[in-house]
Amino acid sequence: MPAFDLSTTSIRALNEALHGTGEPLKDRRFEVRNPRGSHAVAVGCRDQITVAVHGPVGYYCGGMNAAATITVHGSAGPGVGENMMSGSIVVEGDASQYAGATGRGGLLVIKGNAASRCGISMKGIDIVVGGSVGHMSAFMGQSGHLVVLGDAGDALGDSLYEAQLFVRGKVKSLGADCIEKEMRGKHHATLEQLLSKAGMRGADPSQFRRYGSARKLYTFNIDNADAY
């Protein structure tokens, strides 16, 4: 298994190898050591490869991931898994702001907590957070699922479109046009599947509440102006 020590190897060399840019991919499993908060670790992966990162990463780890399975054995900086298309990213520690921002597919699992704006503008990604999420999470979420086993901060789901949110703990406040919705059988099944895929098997779906869009802001109405 090729190993990249980022204390002696550049990010460029790592990503070039993961993309198969210099020479075609021969290996499917990669290890990254000493990331030391480096930015743009394992971004733009497009093959079914496995990348294990040992240590904390900086901004945008796994950005625009397609097909790869990336595990961060540490914490992640802002924008982990931003705009990911498919594959999976698992962060064993905590994640900073914008985790999974604009993600269009795949599964992002954060075993610790995620900071503010987790899942901002999400477009189909599934995000499962073992701990809590900060304020403005799922802001303008268009599609996909955000599952939070802990608590959610202020303004959850502000200006939400059709993303579905499941929170087990407390929600400090809901954002504009986000409301609690009934948890029906199909939602229970969806949640159960997401928890299973994320390896959160101890969590009971019946303990979660579901939140979605009230759809009052879909068409402009001056009488809703105080919501903007």
Partner 1 sequence: MTYHNPPTPPRKSATFDDAALAEIRRAAATGIYDIRGGGTKRKVPHFDDLLFLGASMSRYPLEGYRERCDTAVTLGTRFAKKPIELKIPVTIAGMSFGALSGPAKEALGRGATLAGTSTTTGDGGMTNEERGHSELLVYQYLPSRYGMNPTDLRRADAIEVVVGQGAKPGGGGMLLGQKISDRVAEMRTLPKGIDQRSACRHPDWTGPDDLEIKILELREITDWEKPIYIKVGGARPYYDTALAVKAGADVVVLDGMQGGTAASQDVFIEHVGQPTLACIRPAVQALQDLGMHRKVQLVVSGGIRSGADVAKALALGADAVSVGTAALVAIGDNDPRWESEYNALGTTAGAYDDWHEGKDPAGITTQDPALAARLDPIAASRRLANYLKVITLEAQTIARACGHNHLHNLEPEDLVALTIEAAAMARVPLAGTDWIPGHKGL
> Which of residues 9 and 143 has its CB atom nearest to partner 1 in the complex?
143
> Which of residues 58 and 157 has its CB atom nearest to partner 1 in the complex?
58
> Is residue 121 within the footprint of partner 1 (CB under 8 A)?
yes
Instruction: Find out whether 127 and 147 touch, Cβ atoms under 8 Å.
Output: yes
60-63 contacts at long range (C-beta below 8 A, 24 or more positions apart): 61/89, 62/89
Using CB under 8 A, which residues numbered 75 to 94 contact partner 1?
78-79, 82-83, 85
Closest approach, Cβ 131 to partner 1, in A, equals 20
Using CB under 8 A, which residues numbered 163 to 192 contact partner 1?
none
Q: How many CA atoms are closer than 13 Å to the CA of 174, on its beta-carbon side? A: 17
DSSP 8-state class, residue 92: S
Instruction: Find out whether 32 and 15 touch, Cβ atoms under 8 Å.
Output: no
* Sole window of 60-68, 167-175, 187-195, 204-212 interacting with partner 1 (rule: CB under 8 A): 60-68
Closest approach, Cβ 36 to partner 1, in A, equals 15
Closest approach, Cβ 140 to partner 1, in A, equals 6
CA angle 149, 95, 51 (to 5 degrees): 105
